[in-house]
Amino acid sequence: MPRNFDITATTSSVKLDGSGQGEVTFTVSNKLGMGVTVRATVEPAGNTRAEWMSFPDGMERTLSPDGTAVIPVRISAPKGTPPGAYNFGLVVASVSNPDEQYDRGPSVAFNVAEAPAPVKKPFPWWLVALAAGVVIIIVGVVAILSSHGKKVEAPGIGQPCAAKGTKCAANLTCGPNNVCLGAAGFEGCDKPELCATGRCEANKCQEQVSLGDTCDSPDDCRAPLSCFQGFCLIPLGEKCTHPSQCVTGACTNQVCSRAVVLCPRCPAGTVCINGTCVQTGIVRDPRLMRELEVQQFQRTPQPP
């Protein structure tokens, strides 16, 4: 029976980062011989949950006769997911005739690693003796501080932002969920969720990388950039000045657009430009990056 759509994946196995996230790109080719609008859905297998997968560029594509389209799928395994092997597939169906015009893509696997066991430290019994010796001093200090009024300390990392006065302690910023997060340069994080930039390396909140820089996960790139094939690139529909800046490899009328000819997964050291993998640098445009960051800030709801 002839296939309605050919579906391939850039890889059969996705390696998740430390926060349980990863991404794979599917390529869909139209074999119906006529134009069609299709919708993609994920088909989880075993204990895999469908809500772990999302479509950062949307679920629907309009294909010309014999046309192709790329559909990125982002994997986000939530904290507490049992360790083990998981997999899913992609189902692509015609919007107008989904019961007859559909096909399934190859299975893509990913592993959820077991969380490291916390290191148990011996209880410092000497602190008990020391505490007993300074109880009188502490009581005296508390009495003195009480006589001069209580000084309210600013909330620390991971705590709700203060309603009045200083919202967060030094080197912290009030995040979108009204929680104090580490600013770039803050030392003391142990996971990306505690940093406003979404990057925690060597217990220090790091700046997100910019257009054309290398990346390992979506959280590495500044908004609204996307980590695609190891580089921070501009997603579909955002402003651009050169095709090398776009995840699609196409920049039409200064907007990242869908490519007429799609690239396969380009080898290391090359980028996709107008449907061809070429050995050229990604054009960096600091002025364009500032405009994109301003637009993203205007779209993001700010905490009260």
Please spell the DSSP secondary structure of 248-303, one letter per residue. TS-EETTEE---SS----PPTT-EEETTEEE-------HHHHHHHHHHHHHHSPPP
Least confident of 25-34, 76-85, 192-201, 265-274: 265-274
Per-residue pLDDT at 147 exceeds 80: no
Specify the pLDDT at position 150: 55
Q: If DSSP codes are grouped into helix, strand and coil, which group holds residue 6?
A: strand
pTM over 0.75: no
Integer Cα distance of 262 and 240 in angstroms? 18
Segment 180-184 shows an average pLDDT of 89
Which residues have C-beta within 8 Å of that of residue 44, sequence separation ≥ 6? 50, 52, 53, 86, 88
CB 185 within 8 A of CB 205: yes
Which residues have C-beta within 8 Å of that of residue 75, sequence separation ≥ 6? 14, 16, 20, 21, 22, 23, 24, 52, 53, 110
Specify the pLDDT at position 283: 87
Which residues have C-beta within 8 Å of that of residue 219, sequence separation ≥ 6? 17, 19, 21, 192, 198, 199, 208
What band does 302 get if pLDDT is binned at 50, 70 and 90?
low
Return the CATH superfamily for domain 5-112.
Answer: Immunoglobulins (2.60.40.10)
Segment 192-217 shows an average pLDDT of 84
Identity at 218, one-letter amino acid code: P
Per-residue pLDDT at 303 exceeds 60: no
Specify the pLDDT at position 274: 78
What band does 217 get if pLDDT is binned at 50, 70 and 90?
confident
Which residues have C-beta within 8 Å of that of residue 271, sequence separation ≥ 6? 229, 231, 244, 249, 277, 278, 280, 282
Per-residue pLDDT at 198 exceeds 90: no
Chain region(s) in the chain for CATH 2.60.40.10: 5-112
- What rounded mean pLDDT belongs to the chain? 86
Segment 4-19 shows an average pLDDT of 95
Specify the pLDDT at position 272: 77
Least confident of 29-38, 63-72, 273-282: 273-282
Specify the pLDDT at position 167: 84
Per-residue pLDDT at 143 exceeds 70: no
Least confident of 55-69, 89-103, 141-155: 141-155
